[in-house]
Structure 1
Amino acid sequence: MATTDRHATTLALAHALSAAERGLAVIPLSRTKLPALRSPHHEDPRPTLCHGGCGRLGHGVHDATTDPRRIRELFAAAPWATGYGIACGLPPHHLIGIDLDTKSGTDASAALRELALRHLFTIPDTVVVITPSGGRHIWLAGPPDTVVPNSAGRLAPGIDVRGAGGYLVGPGSRTEHGLYSTAPGTAHLPPAHCPPALLRLLTPPPRTHQHAPAHRPADSSPAGHPDADPQRGQGLVQFVLAAHEGQRNTRLFWAACRAYENGIGETLAPQLADAALHVGLTEREALSTIASAARLTGPAHEPPSYGGHA
């Protein structure tokens, strides 16, 4: 092994041990960002669903641990490792990774800001990891009783999510594309709690029965905001009418998004526009905001979730 690789491995191990001290379970990664240890079952004639029960190393994220002795054992078995992965979804942090990609030709950061505006949440101060391509990994802590699945582009174009069964490339890892590092001022922060409104977007909606009750649970929409049930569109109109200066456009945008998401946008748009005019927006501002909401809430095609890394 070249001296540079040996040095990268030593640094990766040191960073992995430091992450483990913070309660983050880790595994060694190769320069390709994949688990460094090959599955012990790769020559089995039939596929196996073993997640480490056999006692051998090489089960990917299922090998993840915070035990220093075990971490050293994993890296000793993979002396070519130049990075480490941090398993998501495990206690105590139940880590969720929001991956803002720069390679997809979309502005993922802008897409996240639009989501935050539509659903009325803000990203708290938390760990942010900068990728070699200039992307961002935002670390958030999830609740212990909620399973966040992995997804690619489901939340918005250019935004991938790493949850249970996935992992994030840890800061200090060196890959074939470069070094992962923490954004200035964030390395010392713990993973911040995921905003409830964002968490609702990250988790699959519950299966509904054919004869579901007409009213949603009280917490199905942000606190203090109207229920977005299609039969209660007048609540959205009243929400706009209650806007004060400085929040008129935001309230109109939020209400229009809810209306279009529930299939009543075309019907309710004139009433929303009238309400916006009543609180002081111009006709041009109101129509532009409603049109923007209509574009952003067009039919979404969600790919199935999958395990993976970021």
Structure 2
Amino acid sequence: MATPDRQATTLALAHALSAAERGLAVIPLSRTKLPALRSPHRDDPTPTPCRGECGRFGHGVYDASTDPHRIRELFAAAPWATGYGIACGLHPHHLIGLDLDRKNGTDSSAALRELALRHLFTIPETVVVLTPSGGRHLWLTGPPDVVVPNSASRLAPGIDIRGAGGYLVGPGSRTDHGVYGTAPGTAHLAPAPCPPPLLRLLLPPPRTHHPSAPASTAQQGQGLVHFVLAAHEGQRNTRLFWAACRAYENGIGPNLADALVDAAVRTGLTEREARSTIASAARMTGHRP
């Protein structure tokens, strides 16, 4: 007979595989809600940045997958896992999570309603996950060419945002504080598109442009191009959009656009896709493409 923890692991794996069938990339989590697999580089004397390029497990959200075989391998490597995390910002949903907390007397739901009234948007019907502490996770989707960053209480007190590089605890996960579950009537829903006024609030404000010396500008442009060239499959649009936003915010977007397109094409994007992403970055930063 399986121990309670083993039963929790088996249930977590079943829920994770079900989420993967919906196109949601997952990783195993421990009872503390942290990735269950530790970094394989933790004992390296001089660790270098690695997002899974080494081929080993233990890179957090960068291990996330929708492949059932790989998911089973991840859970087999972490038999103590009792939950699973859902990676945000990835194709095809480009998931954005609104974490409405209720700690320290904060009424984050009221804060979100106030924001909706002030900025004229409505939260659509979508998946809602109830947390053991009484909070809620709202699942929304974003455009494929927009990168929403993670943030804590930047939008409003008690509202954390899970975006690119972040993850949400999946329903059915068991933690030290209880079990996560979907709110009644929302389990069958697909994540709804994020309302455009809310999406604008989730993005960081444009940086103030400070004219710099030509040499610094050239170095900065070269750095952004190299950033795009280093993209792996699944990161290409995201890296290109981020680099183009930085270029337009710093006044070198028009001059750097062709170089960014060339770099993106070398990573596997088509020229049309690359120019469309750069145009989106220009519009998002308040410039004309």
Q: Is the pair's TM-score, using the shorter chain for normalization, greater than 0.5? A: yes
Spell out, residue by residue over 1:122-153, the C-alpha distance to the aligned partner (whole angstroms, 9 max, x if none): 00000000000110000000000100000001
* Residue 46 of structure 2: aligned partner: 46
What's 1:131 paired with?
A: 131
For residues 126 and 118 of structure 1, what CA distance do their matches in structure 2 show?
A: 21
TM-score, normalization: structure 1? 0.67
Shift of 1:46: 1.8
Tell me by how many angstroms 1:47 deviates: 3.0
Identity of aligned residues (%): 84
Give yes or no for the alignment of 1:181 onto 2:181: yes
State the match for 2:72 in structure 1.
Answer: 72
1:55 aligned residue: 55
> Which residue identity lines up with residue 132 of structure 2 in the other structure?
P
**How many angstroms does 1:48 deviate by?**
2.3
Cα RMSD (Å): 1.4
- By how many angstroms is 1:210 displaced? 6.5
1:10 corresponds in structure 2 to 10
User: Which whole-Å CA distance do the structure 2 matches of 1:99 and 1:35 have between them?
Assistant: 18
1:214-233 mapped onto 2 (5 Å cutoff): none
Report which stretch shifted further, 57-66 or 103-112: 103-112
3-state SS in 1 of match to 2:16: helix
State the distance in 2 between where 1:207 and 1:151 align. 17
2:158 corresponds to which residue? Answer: 158
Aligned partners of 1:210, 1:32: CA distance in 2, in Å? 43
Shift of 1:117: 0.5
The corresponding residue for 1:196 is: 196
For residue 261 of structure 2, what is the aligned residue in structure 1?
A: none
Correspondence for 2:218: none
Alignment partners' CA distance in 2, 1:2 and 1:188: 30
TM-score w.r.t. structure 2 length?
Answer: 0.71
Give the Å deviation of 1:208. Answer: 4.1
The separation in 1 between residues aligned to 2:207 and 2:153, in whole angstroms, is 22
In structure 1, C-alpha distance between the alignment counterparts of 2:168 and 2:112, rounded to whole Å: 19
Counterpart of 1:122, as a letter, is T
Partner of 2:222: none
Deviation (angstroms), 1:10? 0.3
Bigger helix share: 2
After superposition, the C-alpha distances for 1:184-232 in whole angstroms (9 at most, x for unaligned) are 0000101000000000000012234479xxxxxxxxxxxxxxxxxxxxx
Partner of 2:238: none
Q: Secondary structure at the match of 1:149?
A: coil
Residue 82 (str. 1) matches residue 92 (str. 2): no
Amino acid at match of 1:54: C
Could you tell me how far apart the structure 2 residues matched to 1:27 and 1:97 are?
16
Q: Is 1:122 equivalent to 2:125 in the alignment?
A: no
Deviation at 1:164, TM superposition (A): 0.3
Secondary structure in 2 aligned to 1:42? coil
Q: Which amino acid aligns with 1:68?
A: P
CA deviation profile, 1:33-68 (whole Å, cap 9, x unmatched): 000001000100123210000000110000000000
2:286 is matched with none
Stretches of structure 1 that go unaligned for 5 or more consecutive residues are 212-310
Name the counterpart of 1:36: 36
Output the amino acid matched with 2:30.
S
Q: Secondary structure of the equivalent of 1:104?
A: helix
Alignment partner of 1:197: what SS? helix
Question: Taking structure 1 as reference, are residues 118 and 7 closer, same or farther at Cα in structure 2, changes over 3 Å only?
Answer: same
Report the number of matched residues.
Answer: 211
Query: Aligned letter for 1:160?
Result: D
Taking structure 1 as reference, are residues 7 and 154 closer, same or farther at Cα in structure 2, changes over 3 Å only? same
Q: Distance in 1 between the 2:38 and 2:80 partners?
A: 12
For 1:146, the aligned partner's letter is V
Partner of 1:270: none
Q: Which residue pairs with 2:106 in the alignment?
A: 106
